[in-house]
Structure 1
């Protein structure tokens, strides 16, 4: 198998694992408070990444691909971690009251919202493809909501997840070139862990230890869906172009729908299928304009390929 084919296979597996997390989080959320779920998920991810970090050769200096003064690793990691916990937190809360497949498509709107963030923050102009993608995404989400009945509070939380995750992507674009990917990834994951434990201690002080039935989903979310996918994504994108990777990542809500059916029996009717297809098309269009979708905090270089 060629390195390119192996890279594509790894990214397909990453996308499939990402898609499965919606159903797993929804099920785990029935026994765990959102803050506790996120705290344990990222604690396990931090522990899983530690040996990889320890075995990685140290670099003498950080890359200087971005203009401006150097910034401490911990500072950028904490800022990105705050954006991440906002995204993961709103998504986890959303899954308590909305369907896993609907939440996946709503979350996919983050890719289309990134240009809006850039327009507001950096004054960039939106391309024609993005002007087409935005109404397509809104129409698709409307069809998804129509099929699922009345707009529920979980849908609002899922939209909040899309907005906050778009903010994370924009912040990552500016910070990633300043640091080596693996240490930067670890600091972000560790920041989410610390912030989540503060949240859990304040919101669910008597529910911090998970029941025995929750450990399986937590290990899957922490080790496989967070730590392992970060490493697979880093290796996979060494031999796969950013354009190819973005098309693969656009399939995440599709895989989420498949796993939601297989794991928890959620179904999608024709309106939901059309709406989901429109969201995927909008996602592809937005990514074709050059805006990446890093689902996990794996910093990339200017061409979209990780620098490890």
Structure 2
């Protein structure tokens, strides 16, 4: 299989891991406050990633010119995203939260177009719209054809801020990936976000307790390590095909969330879910394959200097 196929397989795995994230967070906020939960998860992820990047790359230091981008990435894609999502799912349903998070590809593409002037041809726009239609099918249920099948309250607003924060962070990854490896980016963004979160715990005097069933603690450990590793794969996708095309795969997160909700929460799945899957897969194909072709064409036109 070619690099294009492997990149898609990697991003599908990333989507599967992140799809379980909403389900695990919904479960874990019953035992931990969102702030403490985010702090513990990011700290565990950092303890995993920092030794890994030191072992594989032999360095942790960032070039001075990247510090501003890394701070922006850590603050937007982890600190803001994790906190607003954690507090948001307390006040809205998991399906509604998944729908709003499903707008990240659209937000990222629009921001990429505005900031980096990325090309947005008809095929890519069609892929985005079709993917978003699939999100509506999967999440909306019997009201899936309505544009906004929910009441936009405080929970929905917080989750929207989570989606927007992550989309903004994707723009910083685009810059950082020009000079840093995906692994170093992922490790440093988790480390800096952990510092932000611990400062918030101390400032807000959030009570620290870990009284929970053993199974819950295992879920906490899994939810801390798997998404961090998935972030490496996602950043690799951004590095190879750009933020807009990579973020197209995030359309699959609501579908993956629904599967995990069925498996672990006992929710029912219906015909409109399969319709959503069809739309999402087609949207991903339209939005990513054409972009990859353009990316390869640009690589060839630059000749051997890109490989120096």
Q: Give the corresponding residue for 1:162.
A: 163
Q: Give the corresponding residue for 1:215.
A: 217
* TM-aligned CA deviation for residue 134 of structure 1: 4.9
Is the partner of 2:209 in helix, strand or coil? coil
Q: Give the corresponding residue for 1:252.
A: 253
| Superposed CA offset, 1:164-191 (max 9, x none) | 2221112211222122332222111111
Distance in 1 separating the partners of 2:261 and 2:225: 20
Q: Give the corresponding residue for 2:89.
A: 95
Q: Give the corresponding residue for 1:267.
A: 268
Q: Answer yes or no: is 1:111 the counterpart of 2:84.
A: no
Cα pair distance change 1:89/1:272, threshold 3 Å: farther
Do 1:35 and 1:200's aligned partners in 2 also have CA atoms closer than 8 Å? yes
* TM-aligned CA deviation for residue 125 of structure 1: 4.9
Q: Give the corresponding residue for 1:16.
A: 16
Q: Give the corresponding residue for 2:295.
A: none
| Superposed CA offset, 1:135-160 (max 9, x none) | 44565555544359632433333333
* TM-aligned CA deviation for residue 3 of structure 1: 10
Q: Answer yes or no: is 1:224 the counterpart of 2:226.
A: yes
Q: Give the corresponding residue for 1:56.
A: 56
Q: Give the corresponding residue for 1:29.
A: 29
User: 1:72-91 alignment to 2 at 5 Å?
Assistant: 72-84=65-77, 85-91=79-85
Distance in 2 separating the partners of 1:257 and 1:155: 18
Do 2:34 and 2:87's aligned partners in 1 also have CA atoms closer than 8 Å? yes
Q: Give the corresponding residue for 1:179.
A: 180
Is the partner of 1:56 in helix, strand or coil? helix
Q: Answer yes or no: is 1:197 the counterpart of 2:198.
A: yes
* TM-aligned CA deviation for residue 33 of structure 1: 1.8
104, 108, 121: which one aligns with 1:127: 121
* TM-aligned CA deviation for residue 192 of structure 1: 1.2
Do 2:96 and 2:150's aligned partners in 1 also have CA atoms closer than 8 Å? no
Distance in 2 separating the partners of 1:254 and 1:83: 24
Gaps of 5+ in 2: 293-297, 300-306
Cα pair distance change 1:92/1:245, threshold 3 Å: same
Do 2:31 and 2:212's aligned partners in 1 also have CA atoms closer than 8 Å? no
Distance in 1 separating the partners of 2:235 and 2:126: 31
Q: How many pairs are equivalent?
A: 281
Distance in 2 separating the partners of 1:282 and 1:8: 13
Cα pair distance change 1:197/1:281, threshold 3 Å: farther
Range moving further from structure 2, 24-33 or 49-58? 49-58
Cα pair distance change 1:61/1:264, threshold 3 Å: closer
Distance in 2 separating the partners of 1:260 and 1:169: 27
Distance in 2 separating the partners of 1:248 and 1:220: 22
TM-score normalised by the chain length of structure 2: 0.72
Greater fraction helix: 2
| Superposed CA offset, 1:36-78 (max 9, x none) | 111110000001113212312437998xxxxxxx644443321
Gaps of 5+ in 1: 63-69, 292-301
Distance in 1 separating the partners of 2:36 and 2:280: 31
Distance in 1 separating the partners of 2:246 and 2:118: 24
Do 2:128 and 2:248's aligned partners in 1 also have CA atoms closer than 8 Å? no
